Structure 1
Amino acid sequence: MAKRFAVETLDRSLKDIMNCQESFGGKVIVFGGDFRQVLPVVPKGTRAETVSASLVRSYLWNNIEKLSLTTNIRARVDPNFSDFLLRVGNGDESTDNDDMIHLPDEVVIKYENDEIFESNLLQSIFPDLERNATSSEYLTTRAILATTNEHVDNLNEKLITMFLGDARAYYSYDEAVDDTHNYYQEEFLNSLMPNGLPPHKLFLKKNCPIMLLRNLDPSNGLCNGTRMVCKSFGNNVIHAEITTGQHAGKQVLLPRIPLSPAENEGYPFQFRRKQFPIRLCFSMTINKAQGQTIPNVGVYLPEHVFSHGQLYVALSRGISMSTTKVLVKTDKRKNENCHFQ
């Protein structure tokens, strides 16, 4: 997801420093990552602008003489599943006349109707949720991925309702900075849901899974995307336990902090929200899950994926066809053969 401009700047700088016109001044550079994943995010950008910002399309890609493209998919995924994933990622998987990919029957949850198709997915990924509500391992080895925050919030709301325990509600303090004339009412500010910010109403229960949204203390494991479980609640602090990575098991305290959206959100005022920098993570967006391995993963696709690489990223979070389930909302004409773009 890195934009090519930063790498090209490094290339030019090393050429100047080394007084050498070879790529990167003749130095050996190792790139880590999977080139099949989603492209860089260009806010409000066209498809052409997104592709233009991608490292894959930069002049470096065509000028580096020795480029080794490897993947760790085969190392952590069963062979049959890995072959399918690599065909999807490379664009080699066969498609029909509508550019739809046929998903293996083993991973598809059959769509029946709007009333029960979501519950089928929830039960497949979170079976016996009530009995396992206190197990950190159970909660952090499974998640449902969706394309947009709207779908993620909907799934999280359903699952926190099913979760055992009494709910604790935390409300944010929202303000428009320097709004001396009070043009923006508090009710309006509370309704805003910019990307990267926690919701105004944050409902939590003891032992529920959460995800950190800011880099608070990277050296101690508190990074953007860190998954945790809630242990206890205070009025202005939350006690949580890190459940993934090298800091798994560490107990941490999370305070309320002021948060602002990125400038490219396009608000005509400076918005500030004081809230705990966390979200529920029974479900998360496909982009947020990039780089993670989730043994039991569900993919919620009521509509087509809208970005290059999203389907590959979603499917490749899992490790096996038997533990990866995809819910595709299809029309009656395609119920028998689940396809997706």
Structure 2
Amino acid sequence: MTKNVRASSGGIGWSNFLIQLGNGELQNDSNEVKVPDDMLSSVDIADEIFGDIVSLEDMSAAVGKAILTPRNIDFLEMNNKVLSKLPEQEKIYRSIDEVMNDETEANNDTEYSLEFLNSLTPQGYPPHELHLKKGAVIMLLRNLRVNQGLCNGTRLTVEHMDRYILGCKIATGANKGQYVLIPRIIFRPPAYDTSPCRFKRKRFPVRLAYAMTINKSQGQTFNWVETYRLQKSKLRVVQSMVTGADDKVI
């Protein structure tokens, strides 16, 4: 790397702030960091960053924005809240869940109800329900076609919603604007999973990307970031994702 694009676009002051923050020079005696007042928000987070999404231009601008949270339950709540701002009709997709029978375990379809399987979200699995609207910003959860830019973490916008396929446009990177098709895939537990209820889930490998966990957002760059219930240990990670002091609110 010869140039830090993220830090350089924010000016020397922003670069120095990141360095001091990373070196622990901004902490007080209580090991706390004072966040500048101009980086704080006193209004609803979703309204502050996304406003009223009523046009295609608003939907396009939303790609460069994100609400970051430390907990899964928070980002799910925020995603649905932002989705409700879109004027298009909402469509709900539900996964197909099926118990994986194993010869070494007494694990069969009669032991677990379908409702119980639907209520589970094991690590690496998306939730049972997926709420979408045309124009929504989503994130890919699996590598599908890496040579076409369809990698885990790729952000897309929804253009067409069918029962078995999603038509989307890649929203960032070298393949930005390319129209792609996203099929349903099967999520399976890893080989080392020893849980008594092993099941597979067929679903679109995407989720809404207006909000995400801080861990999931690492490696990406945004124009505007807001944080919700931020943990102090995550502050340095979040600050380094944006290009300048004017691009985020905490």
The normalised TM-score by structure 1 is 0.67
Does structure 1 residue 165 correspond to structure 2 residue 88? Answer: yes
Q: Is residue 76 from structure 1 mapped to residue 9 from structure 2 by the alignment? A: yes
Quote the residue 2:22 is aligned against: 89
Deviations 1:202-240 (Å, cap 9, x if unpaired)? Answer: 010000000000000000010000000000111100100
Name the SS for the 1:94 alignment partner: coil
SS in structure 1 at match of 2:219: coil
Residue 107, structure 1, aligned to residue 39, structure 2: yes
Whole-Å Cα distance in 2 between the matches of residues 207 and 199 of structure 1?
Answer: 21
Pick closer, same or farther for the CA change 1:155–1:258 going to 2, 3 Å.
same
Residues 1:122 and 1:91: Cα distance change in structure 2 (over 3 Å): same
* Distance in 2 (alpha carbons) for counterparts of 1:324 and 1:181: 49
Larger Rg: 1
Residue segments in structure 2 that go unaligned for 5+ positions in a row: 102-106
For residues 1-341 of structure 1, the aligned pairs below 5 Å read 73-97=6-30, 99-110=31-42, 120-130=44-54, 132-133=55-56, 135=58, 137-178=60-101, 179-180=107-108, 182-262=110-190, 267-301=195-229, 304-305=231-232, 308=233, 310-326=234-250
* Counterparts of 2:76 and 2:193, CA distance in 1: 19
The aligned residue for residue 11 of structure 1 is: none
Q: How far apart are 1:264 and its partner, in Å? A: 6.4
Q: State the percentage of identical aligned residues.
A: 34
Bigger CA drift: 313-322 or 164-173? 313-322
Question: What is the alpha-carbon distance in structure 2 between the residues aligned to residue 147 and residue 210 of structure 1?
Answer: 19
- The residue type equivalent to 2:244 in the other structure is S
Call closer, same or farther: CA 1:264–1:82 in 2, change over 3 Å: farther
Aligned residue pair count: 245
CA contact (8 A) 1:177 1:270 kept: yes
Structure-2-length-normalised TM-score: 0.89
Q: For structure 1, which segment, 317-326 or 153-162, has the greater mean C-alpha deviation from structure 2 after superposition?
A: 317-326
Q: 3-state SS of the aligned residue for 1:109?
A: coil
Structure-1 residue corresponding to 2:104: none
Q: For residues 265 and 228 of structure 1, what CA distance do their matches in structure 2 show?
A: 31
RMSD: 2.2
| Partner amino acid, structure 2, of 1:105 | D
Secondary structure of 1:166's counterpart equals coil
Write out per-residue CA displacement over residues 38-91 of structure 1, whole angstroms, 9 at most, x where no aligned residue.
xxxxxxxxxxxxxxxxxxxxxxxxxxxxxxxx9654323332222222222222
Q: Distance in 1 between matches of 2:34 and 2:187?
A: 42
Q: Counterparts of 2:122 and 2:192 in 1: how far apart (Å)?
A: 10
In the aligned structure 1, how far is the partner of 2:35 from the partner of 2:193? 35
Look up the equivalent residue of 1:276 and give its one-letter code.
F
- Deviation string 1:273-301 (CA, Å, 9 cap, x unpaired) is 10000000011111111111101111112
Q: Is the 8 A contact 1:76 1:319 kept in 2?
A: yes
Measure the CA separation in 2 of the matches of 1:103 and 1:138: 26
Contact 2:7–2:244 (CA under 8 A) maintained in structure 1:
no
Q: 1:139 to 1:73 in 2, by over 3 A?
A: closer
